[in-house]
Structure 1
Amino acid sequence: MAVKCPQVAVPASAPAPASSASSGPSGPSGPSAPFAVASASVVAVLAPVLVMFGIGLWGIDRGGMWRDEAVTFQVARRSLPQIWHLLHSVDAVHGLYYLLMHPVLAVHADEVALRLPSLCAAAVTAGLVAALGTRLARPRVGLWAGLLYAVTPMAGHFAQEGRSYALVAAGAAGSTLLLVRAVHAANSGEPRARVPARRVSAWCAYGGAVAVTVLLHELAVLILLAHAATLALARMPRRVWRGWARAAGAVLLVLLPLALVSSGQAGQVAWLRPPGGDTVESLLRAFTGPTQPVLGPYLLLIALALRAPLTRRGELSLPAVALPLLLLPPATLLAVSRHWPLYDDRYVLYALAGAPLLAAAGADRLLRTAARLRLPARHPRAPADAGGATPVPARDDRTAPARNAAPALPRAFRARYGAALLGVVAVGLAFVSQVSVLRADRDPARRPDNLAAVSAAAAERMSPGDPVLFLPAIGRRAAVAYPQGFRSARDVALREPGPVSGTLYGRETGPGELRRRLDGLDRLWVVAEPYALRPSWHPAEPTEQVKLAVVGEEFVPRAEFVRKGSVLRLYVRRPPAT
């Protein structure tokens, strides 16, 4: 049995399709049906928002930022001219996000405030996923899809990340919903004089949402590819393609200046490597759930959803919207990254929305198939009279309501809400099976480093006036994010701090001046990235070369304190040879 989805041409104010609001056991009937469907739709959208917000709020204050969050924290607190100065040399791809975070951290600058916009964006995304499922199928599908998104560990991870990725996911989900509405407006049967204005406003809203999304992160431009595939699967008429093409062209024009600037800063992603054989499996588990009890049923439900026809000509169905969103952005970025490494799972977080939509549609198809297979209840028939008519038993109007009132409410409740609650219970079981994953993700040790721990170690061991050398300069990020731990130390190599120099970590002195400063020191603290202490590391910058040469030739290590992602080592001058 195919998954029935309402035609996009049906006005939003019209009663829900028969699959969700028909009379009989499958839904409400009578004059109250539109109100019941509207109420169910509101609940279907709000419940995932609240669940996602609760999961994201759990453990949001981890007690430490990692390196990428620290960049957001220190850049967003600069003045607007200083942020603009920085973007000319580095991090232009995150420029809009820093500008949005500037007023947030101006009100209150701490780790919770840093992550709160991502948490709110993740909650909004869960609601938007639910709205897509409700509009393209029925309220219970939207409810299940939104809740599935909320309990997915990947969504919870980035809900607590002080970076732009959760906002990008919200923008992608919102633009997908606006695409559905724009297609509805383009296929509307309203009088010709009114249609153009609605079409223009709908496509403008869609284009504006996509433009903001790609300015938050330029790799989100792949959402246009997914939307084009959706229109192709639905075999949309030319008027729809014309509207979409104009909106997509405007988005690309808006993105062009950012793409040109960021292409000159490609060294920022030089650390990325071509994806390996396990990358696809890792992403699959991230999208559906890392635990086996969730992964297997999740994939089965997606397969059930895809067994139905994707769409009919001129209509948007849930599979036709969700499948390209789920597959095309990751697949395209993976293919490109085989030759030009750009792939990281956070860059395709927004594609996650397609997985719960498909799984919810598969669950809906499974339940409706099971309902069709149930045998109807058999009732004894009274013998017909001589005329062939079946006599109607006499009814006592005084006692009949009393006999029937008791089971009526439970039956109506089970018919209307039982299936939806069954799906909610299944999502709850998926959440329980992944609680350990969510709990572990709230441990600062799960991030690549913990700059708060590095700063605390420095504060505990450094004396006032102690010289400190950061190897390489990027190691200064702990001192930038948590300056209180290094307040008493003296930065030997620093010439200009980051805000003044328009850089992330400041501009260091030249090799000659640095050698002169190191000559008069008898002890030196070095805060190093682990790779910088390996013999295989050969920096290209002359200042970094001097650091390695002087420390290796003129000093010997006396003590070492290792923190995740950083090494704090005390050196003393090598005694003269006798």
Structure 2
Amino acid sequence: MVTTQPLAVVRSVAPSPRPLIGAAAVVGAAAAVISAAGSWIPSLWGDEAASLLSARRPLGSLFAMLTHVDAVHGLSYIALHFWIRVFGSSAFSIRVPSAVAIGICAAAVVVLCGRFGSLRFAVVAGAVAAVLPRLTYAGGEARAYAWDAAIAAVLCVVVAEILVRDRPSRRWWIAYGAVLAVGVYTFLYLALMAAAVGVAVLLTRRELLRSWAVASAAGIAAASPVLVLGLLERNQISYLAHRDEATPSSLLVSMWFGSIPFAVVAWTLIVVAGVGWAVDVRQALRLNRPLPRLESLAFAWLIVPVGMLLLMNIVSPGFTARYGTFAAPAAAVLIALGVRRLVRATRRAGVTRPWVAVAAAAALGATVIPVWVAQRQPYAQNQSDWNQIAAVIHAHARRGDAIVFDEGVRPSRRTRLAMDTDPQPFAAVRDVTLAVPYARESTWHSTAYTVAQAAARGRFDGVGRVWVVEYSTGGLVDTWGITDLRALGYRRTETLVEHRSVIALYER
């Protein structure tokens, strides 16, 4: 059992800053490499298309779009806009910033845990963060969720500095408010981290509650423009009301752990950490000592924001497991705390400590590697097969062929996004149904004519061959535009079936 120690003792067991920062840098670099490795393999998918197509727009057009949709993602779109101007817009390039974010996240976990324990423990916690499935997934996706996790982790590093100091200076509270504000600009629900920090402060340093309230209010007030725009644009996620994503499987497996085997190992270790924390809390209350700071912060970080999201979901459905990404580093910390508890418990039982640590590492590694490998498969990103669509058109289309994309599905599933995100393989074909390109739209995606409307505008005049790319799922293939094509005299002569699409050639 780890007894709660007075503040001065807690500071004395923490590693000195230089080795801690060095270890954080090494772990962070390794985490970034783990997330970046193989991230070029899966096709982009709808949400990533929103990121890329928004970032490609001229800044004036992007700012205009954000007043209509996706204001809550505005900061990440602007940052990606400048990134692709320097590094290009390949799938790998636009996913690299997310891998870097996971590196920062893992490094922050090392620093956070190093403020409350040994360097070895801090490195273990950072290593768990580096391979945690939710974080490696976010690190290979061109969305802001990886940055959400990184900002939440940095915020908790600032909170740790506040908690370990007898009289934290005002600058630490200013830093806390600033990081919180930046977090809300990257992801609206990061505002819920203020509640998690408040619970941790209430449990461990109650005398700091007033300072926490002032700093939290200032940070959220600074982010009020995006909060207002997010409220006005909330209908964007109205489709989530038709999904039931707040399921036991989503919460216990998908949200952070990716597979049932890894979830079993992870939750076992988190429960071990929780039991040990409860014992320490009981002893601290009996001896009138402060509660354990790291465990209190980590459990508040893991439970409070997600719990509030679930309560909000009851009133206004809009929950998806990815929204819990910013709490994933807390899961990594708690898993590491569970390993530490097991090692110390078995030491008292006479079991050699290295074997316990090796067994825990083996269980984690054996169950996490298959998840990481699955995340780097061609269809790993929401089953998208845009790379395959591009390859088929590039290999089989002739100069002057037309192409028609399925417009009968919601924007994030439209097969046109395969061309919008990677135009070069489609250089030989003409997009005959395009009405307004995405760069001139008030939203992030293009709009299109029906086949009949395009024909009335002469778009099919002189066209002998038309490639039709339909969305397909569960064995059901869309037939958008097929009736109108047949009315124009086209007949199907070739069919190529891909993972989530069917590509057909129609000829007159």
With normalisation by structure 2, the TM-score equals 0.84
Letter in 2 for 1:445: Y
Quote the Cα distance in structure 2 between the aligned partners of 1:61 and 1:82: 28
Identify which range, 57-66 or 118-127, moves more after superposition: 57-66
Indicate if the aligned counterparts of 2:492 and 2:505 stay in contact, CA closer than 8 A.
Answer: yes
Summarize the Cα distance change of 1:503–1:112 in structure 2 as closer, same or farther, 3 Å threshold. Answer: same
Letter in 2 for 1:524: V
Note the alpha carbon deviations across 1:368-407, whole angstroms, 9 max, x for none. Answer: 33334559xxxxxxxxxxxxxxxxxxxxxxxxxxxxxxxx
Identify which range, 201-210 or 359-368, moves more after superposition: 359-368
Q: Which residue of 1 aligns with 2:280?
A: 309
Whether 2:415 is the aligned partner of 1:475: answer yes
Whether 2:330 is the aligned partner of 1:354: answer yes
Q: Which residue of 2 aligns with 1:529?
A: 471
Whether 2:472 is the aligned partner of 1:504: answer no
Whether 2:266 is the aligned partner of 1:326: answer no
Note the alpha carbon deviations across 1:51-91, whole angstroms, 9 max, x for none. Answer: 31332232132164233223323332332222212212222
Summarize the Cα distance change of 1:6–1:326 in structure 2 as closer, same or farther, 3 Å threshold. Answer: same
Secondary structure, aligned partner of 1:478: helix
Secondary structure, aligned partner of 1:112: helix
2:504 to 556, 569, 572: 569
Quote the Cα distance in structure 1 between the aligned partners of 2:174 and 2:144: 23
Note the alpha carbon deviations across 1:493-549, whole angstroms, 9 max, x for none. Answer: 223322233432334459985351367566533333337997999xxxxxx9xx576
Summarize the Cα distance change of 1:531–1:64 in structure 2 as closer, same or farther, 3 Å threshold. Answer: closer
Identify which range, 134-143 or 511-520, moves more after superposition: 511-520
Secondary structure, aligned partner of 1:283: helix
Quote the Cα distance in structure 1 between the aligned partners of 2:227 and 2:158: 25
Quote the Cα distance in structure 1 between the aligned partners of 2:319 and 2:356: 38
Summarize the Cα distance change of 1:565–1:215 in structure 2 as closer, same or farther, 3 Å threshold. Answer: farther
Indicate if the aligned counterparts of 2:298 and 2:330 stay in contact, CA closer than 8 A.
Answer: yes
Give the CA deviation at 1:215.
0.7
Describe how 1:437-448 pairs up with structure 2 within 5 A.
Answer: 437-447=371-381, 448=383
Give the CA deviation at 1:292.
5.8
Q: Which residue of 1 aligns with 2:216?
A: 248
Secondary structure, aligned partner of 1:560: strand
Q: Which residue of 1 aligns with 2:341?
A: 365
Summarize the Cα distance change of 1:522–1:367 in structure 2 as closer, same or farther, 3 Å threshold. Answer: closer
Indicate if the aligned counterparts of 2:98 and 2:140 stay in contact, CA closer than 8 A.
Answer: yes
Larger C-alpha radius of gyration, 1 or 2?
1
Q: Which residue of 2 aligns with 1:15?
A: 12
Summarize the Cα distance change of 1:424–1:509 in structure 2 as closer, same or farther, 3 Å threshold. Answer: same
1:466 to 377, 401, 406: 401
Unaligned runs of 5+ residues in structure 2 are none
Quote the Cα distance in structure 2 between the aligned partners of 1:44 and 1:421: 23
Q: Which residue of 2 aligns with 1:490?
A: 430
Indicate if the aligned counterparts of 1:48 and 1:127 stay in contact, CA closer than 8 A.
Answer: yes
Secondary structure, aligned partner of 1:369: helix
Summarize the Cα distance change of 1:73–1:294 in structure 2 as closer, same or farther, 3 Å threshold. Answer: closer
Describe how 1:532-551 pairs up with structure 2 within 5 A.
Answer: 547=481, 550-551=484-485
Give the CA deviation at 1:177.
1.5
Summarize the Cα distance change of 1:179–1:11 in structure 2 as closer, same or farther, 3 Å threshold. Answer: farther
Whether 2:104 is the aligned partner of 1:124: answer yes
Letter in 2 for 1:83: L
Indicate if the aligned counterparts of 1:114 and 1:162 stay in contact, CA closer than 8 A.
Answer: yes
Summarize the Cα distance change of 1:62–1:290 in structure 2 as closer, same or farther, 3 Å threshold. Answer: closer
Quote the Cα distance in structure 1 between the aligned partners of 2:470 and 2:175: 48
Summarize the Cα distance change of 1:263–1:527 in structure 2 as closer, same or farther, 3 Å threshold. Answer: farther
Secondary structure, aligned partner of 1:106: helix
Q: Which residue of 1 aligns with 2:183?
A: 213
Q: Which residue of 1 aligns with 2:86?
A: 107
Indicate if the aligned counterparts of 1:226 and 1:324 stay in contact, CA closer than 8 A.
Answer: yes
Quote the Cα distance in structure 1 between the aligned partners of 2:323 and 2:290: 31
Describe how 1:124-523 pairs up with structure 2 within 5 A.
Answer: 124-185=104-165, 187-188=166-167, 199-234=169-204, 236-237=206-207, 240-273=208-241, 276=244, 279-286=247-254, 289-290=257-258, 294-307=262-275, 308-310=279-281, 317-374=293-350, 423=357, 426-447=360-381, 448-472=383-407, 474-508=414-448, 513-514=453-454, 516-517=456-457, 520=461, 523=465
Letter in 2 for 1:15: S
Q: How many residues align?
A: 490
Q: Which residue of 2 aligns with 1:97?
A: 76
Secondary structure, aligned partner of 1:524: strand
Indicate if the aligned counterparts of 1:152 and 1:287 stay in contact, CA closer than 8 A.
Answer: no
Quote the Cα distance in structure 1 between the aligned partners of 2:483 and 2:475: 12
Summarize the Cα distance change of 1:152–1:492 in structure 2 as closer, same or farther, 3 Å threshold. Answer: same
Give the CA deviation at 1:224.
1.8
With normalisation by structure 1, the TM-score equals 0.75
Indicate if the aligned counterparts of 1:451 and 1:478 stay in contact, CA closer than 8 A.
Answer: yes
Give the CA deviation at 1:420.
7.5
Give the CA deviation at 1:96.
0.3
Letter in 1 for 2:444: L
- What is the aligned-residue RMSD (CA, Å)? 3.4
Give the CA deviation at 1:92.
1.7
Quote the Cα distance in structure 2 between the aligned partners of 1:558 and 1:276: 41
Summarize the Cα distance change of 1:249–1:360 in structure 2 as closer, same or farther, 3 Å threshold. Answer: same
Q: Which residue of 1 aligns with 2:60?
A: 81
Quote the Cα distance in structure 1 between the aligned partners of 2:110 and 2:419: 43
Give the CA deviation at 1:248.
1.6
Quote the Cα distance in structure 1 between the aligned partners of 2:503 and 2:478: 20
Give the CA deviation at 1:100.
1.1
Note the alpha carbon deviations across 1:218-276, whole angstroms, 9 max, x for none. Answer: 12222222222222333612xx2222112221232233322332334334323324664
Indicate if the aligned counterparts of 1:451 and 1:481 stay in contact, CA closer than 8 A.
Answer: no
Quote the Cα distance in structure 2 between the aligned partners of 1:141 and 1:62: 34
Summarize the Cα distance change of 1:533–1:301 in structure 2 as closer, same or farther, 3 Å threshold. Answer: closer
Indicate if the aligned counterparts of 1:220 and 1:348 stay in contact, CA closer than 8 A.
Answer: no
Identify which range, 364-373 or 308-317, moves more after superposition: 308-317
Quote the Cα distance in structure 2 between the aligned partners of 1:247 and 1:95: 24
Quote the Cα distance in structure 2 between the aligned partners of 1:563 and 1:115: 24
Indicate if the aligned counterparts of 1:76 and 1:102 stay in contact, CA closer than 8 A.
Answer: yes
